[in-house]
Chain A
Amino acid sequence: MKKSDGISAIAWTVGVVAVWELAALVLAKGLHDPMAASKLPLPQDVAATIAREGATLAEAASVTLSKAAIGFAIGAFVGYMLAVLMSVSRTAERIAFPYLIMSQMIPVLGLAPIIFNLVRNMDASRIVIASYITFFPVAANSLSGFKSVDLEKRQLMHSYATGLPTTYAKLMLPFSLPYLFAGLKIAAPMSVTASILVDMLGSKSGIGVKLLYSLYGGAMDVFWASVLVSAAMGILSYALVLLVEKICLPWEAAAIASAGRAE
């Protein structure tokens, strides 16, 4: 990212907050909307609430995030292993790939209540859904990474008489890493969303519970603070993957602006 891009991103953020402020003012003062505080509160009010409720919000957020992270890790691992398996064996790919595509088209989050009904355990269903959501983009992207290894490179490895494990360790796995991260970047905010959704289905703690209780309890300031916190959580998860990518793949850092190449 160029320096001017950073400045323009900051300028945009400031602009959005300004528009928000203006819209909220118009809604409250100009239109005298009695629901103004619940439709669009002033940004500084929300910020004050976040500061006031900071501790409880952070605690709720960490519950939700940690569960999302476990599911995310499991899903990423399974997805990557599946991609390796499919790249090694064409039979495995033939069997699994059509279902991979189909599983992408099933509205997974729509399944959340059903999975909850199946597992009957908050944490387990959270992890199951987050990993299910993660595994597809990771598997599909990694597989396309394995497939984009030049044939010449594989032939070179073959001419050195390297076995399958060495070929994977030296050539295939490193080559597929950028694709793996492209998948992880798509999956990270989705797994956070999944975790929040499961919160809302009847968990006892977590940011989703805060959202729901404040929504039904009429505590609109807390509600808006929770919305902002959950949005920040989604963005944070994406930024974390980006950071890990930067550390693991410094040679890709230059191309980082073109995030999510194979989505």
Chain B
Amino acid sequence: MRERVAKVVLPAAVGIAFVAAWQVGALHVLLDLESFQLPLPSEIVQALAANLSKALSDCGVTVSGAFIGMAIGSTFGFLVAVLATTFPSWGYGGLVLVSALNSIPIVALSPIMNRWFSTGMAQKVGVVTIVCMAAMAINAYRGLNDLKPFSLDLMRSYVATKREVFFQLRLPNCLPSVFTALKINITSSMIAAIVSEYFASSTAGLGFGIKNNLRKAEMAMGWAYIVVASVVGIALYLCILFAERRATRWHASQSAGAETPSGEGAGDKA
């Protein structure tokens, strides 16, 4: 019980202290900022409350684009991983290529997609698709191929066909890695969607909102958009976490795993 209290109270206290220091202006003094540069938390909340419906509709545009792109990109990435597993001698090169795609800056992709697609939504989905593909391909490939020692031998001793090995051994084995990839993709799809809106011709979405408000020097509203984006990001992340807990309850990583940096389970050793 004390453990739990310490786990919640300590970080919460530090967080509240930080926001309080920000509100009374200590942060401004510390960083040598004027209040028009960094709005106070109360101003951000007011700006958000005043424009809540606009912020929510912009948020819906961005999130739906991010979500569609993530679904397409993750599916493609998974297929690449499956292909690379099925045809190991040729598949690996494809995997290398997909990870090279991962290193292409979003800001370079975004204008290209702008040329290819006429609508802002298609452009956004295109960017997010490419961004999400690599993480899924790499992680799913690892999950499909990092099998427990002897499990493949066991399958062989059962004279299992390649197909049976895939569906009964590899596929369940890759589930935790797929969730790791989804967790990465949730964050990066939101980032990609927002950044691509900076360059799109669209006039809706969080990215456009941030850009537009900063141009009009309405800093508080720009910050309010960031708050909305963060809250949505955290909510989506929690959804994936919940689905992961339900789907991989049987897996060892749920009790002892340290493979994800998110630390659930990993932090409870001491």
Contacts and interface: CB of A to CB of B under 8 A. Distances in A.
B96 A12 contact: yes
B33 A118 contact: yes
A235 to B, nearest CB: 4
A262 interface: yes
A193 B90 CA distance: 30
Given A5-B93, A9-B97, A234 B10 contact: no
B166 to A, nearest CB: 20
B138 A260 contact: yes
Interface in A39-65: 39
Contact of A97 (B33, B226, B267): B267
Contact of A237 (B103, B234, B259, B267): B103
A231 B104 contact: yes
B93 A94 contact: no
A178 interface: no
Contacts, number: 181
Interface stretch (A70-78, A141-149, A160-168, A243-251): A141-149
A140 interface: yes
Interface string A95-106: 111110110111
Contact of A118 (B14, B37, B97): B37
A259 B233 contact: no
Interface residues of A, number: 69
Interface string B46-79: 0000000000000000000000000000000000
Contacts of B211: 113
A84 interface: no
Contacts of B38: 118
Given A114-B222, A262-B261, A5 B92 contact: yes
Contacts of A94: 6-7, 10-11
A216 to B, nearest CB: 10
Contact of B223 (A114, A148, A200): A114
Contact of B105 (A38, A141, A234): A234
A235 B103 contact: yes
A93 to B, nearest CB: 7
Contacts of B10: 91, 94-95
B172 interface: no
28 contacts: A8-B91, A8-B94, A11-B90, A95-B14, A97-B267, A99-B11, A99-B14, A101-B262, A105-B234, A110-B194, A114-B223, A137-B261, A141-B261, A144-B260, A193-B107, A197-B105, A197-B106, A211-B107, A211-B108, A211-B111, A226-B108, A227-B108, A230-B105, A231-B105, A231-B108, A259-B138, A260-B138, A263-B184
Interface of B: 6-7, 10-11, 14-15, 33, 37-38, 89-94, 96-97, 99-100, 102-108, 111-112, 115-116, 135, 138-139, 142, 146, 180, 184, 186-187, 190-191, 194-195, 198, 206-207, 210-211, 214, 219, 222-223, 226, 229-230, 233-234, 237, 258-263, 266-267, 269-270
Interface of A: 4-5, 7-13, 16, 35, 38-39, 90-91, 93-99, 101-102, 104-111, 113-114, 117-118, 120, 137, 140-141, 143-144, 147-148, 189, 192-193, 196-197, 200, 208, 211, 215, 223, 226-227, 230-231, 233-235, 237-238, 258-263
Given A13-B97, A35-B115, A95-B10, 19 more contacts: A5-B93, A39-B116, A90-B270, A91-B10, A94-B10, A97-B263, A104-B187, A106-B229, A107-B187, A107-B191, A109-B194, A113-B198, A118-B37, A189-B102, A196-B107, A196-B108, A230-B105, A238-B103, A263-B261
